[in-house]
Amino acid sequence: MLDGVRPAARSGARLHPLKADGVVPLPAGTTLMHLPGRAATVLQRDGNPLELGGELLPLAAVLPVGHLRTLLPATRPLQGSSRLPLYGYAAVAEHRGQLVVAATATDRFGWWMPSRFGGSDVAAGVERAREALPANRLVGHLAVCALENRCYTAQNTFLRRYEGALPASPACNADCLGCISLQSDGEAPAPQPRMRFAPTWQELAELAEFHLTGDDAAIVSFGQGCEGEPLTRGDALVRATRAIRRRFAAATVHVNTNGSRPGVLRRMIAAGCNSVRISAISFNDSVFRAYYRPVGYTLDDVMECGRVMREAGGQVCLNLLTFPGVTDSPDELERTAQACRDMGVHQVQWRSLNVDHDWLVEVLRRRDALPPQGIGMDAAYQRLSAELPGVVHGNFTRPWPATESAQHSGIEPEGAVVSSISP
């Protein structure tokens, strides 16, 4: 602890004091990271900022699933520094002898909690899948995700419980700044490799059958972090969905998507898809384009994907990619609330955006797309919860149709808004 200074954090580009009532002890599963090539900023007693140099390295936390970052590290890139790996960096400080982080719990859906599952059972599950599906390329691909990259959805695929992963596409129609599987300019290291093959519909359906015959399995989902955009593989997804639905009438067949191809989603719905999660950083076109750099689609297509699923009676989830200083600005919140109403969203999944925070702020500034000061992420969470009565707020996709037991499995966090929704 340095004498005479206080810890600082950022909301967008704005500096804020990091206060005791805005932090929590590090949640179990938090990863601490140094931020090389960055200078940290603290606040002096008079409130003026002081940049720390020398050998002191800024520290940040990457939170476990089920927690939301509320403030960014107060850092500045040094001359010649590289972009940071793509993680959701949260501000960290020391308080009364322990490390604390700017975060809040958003979901404790018991069916998901990684702390309750995993270990050596995952490796055994991988071997069972290899024996059952020796020619299926997805097994080898997801084995790396489960065993080396510790992807919980991949692990659950082999444990045959809850949600199973069905990655489908090596290609994408966006060039997201925070894409965790491929960075087109190569300047930011991607945390996991993009899949290099296009699975056949038979491979997708076979793996789905392996997963869904598990006693605790209920969901299979196209669209994972290790792939591009699943809706670019329309024919394969439609045929796989039809085969899965024919075999598993009660399963939730779900797709995680950027919302770019409502026509493909409509065909999937006709084949038996009954749940969608649409990712969005913003419903402001200037912010949306700055981050997604979309190819051949617009926000109108994104909105239409939600409407298509709503009209079919399926589950509509919004994967809200949050960034302090952007997500919590009043204009952004108003646009997000209206988009949720228009799309008939059943659940908002609050996710800390994986991106170099200094880089994103720079990009938004250059495009004059950085919003004015936000109201704070905790306040933003409460405002959206109040403006969207009956909407679930959390992190994890629930089975569909919704049931009381599915919605409330496990211990929900204080302040979470969770309700039972009927289709």
The CATH class of 114-407 is alpha beta
Q: Is the pLDDT of residue 265 over 70?
A: yes
Q: 342-394: per-residue pLDDT in tens?
A: 999 999 999 999 999 999 999 999 999 999 889 999 999 999 999 999 999 99
In the chain, the percentage of residues whose pLDDT exceeds 70 is: 91
Distance CA 368, CA 376 (A): 21
pLDDT at 318 over 90: yes
- Of the two residues 176 and 187, the one the predictor is more confident about is 176
Residue 241 structure tokens: 């969905």
Given this model, what pLDDT does residue 280 score? 98
CA 385 to each of CA 64, 381, 416: distance values in angstroms, whole numbers, following the listed order: 22, 6, 8
What is the average per-residue pLDDT within 41-67? 89
**Nearest Cα to Cα of residue 348 among 337, 357, 358:** 337
Q: In the chain, which segments carry CATH 3.20.20.70?
A: 114-407
Q: Give me the chain's average pLDDT, please.
A: 91
Q: Looking at residue 117, what is its pLDDT? A: 61
Residue 408 has pLDDT above 60, yes or no: no
Angstrom distance (rounded) from CA 406 to CA 409: 5
Q: Of 35, 44, 52, give the one whose Cα is nearest residue 17.
A: 44
Question: What's the rounded Cα separation, in Å, for the pair 200 and 147?
Answer: 24
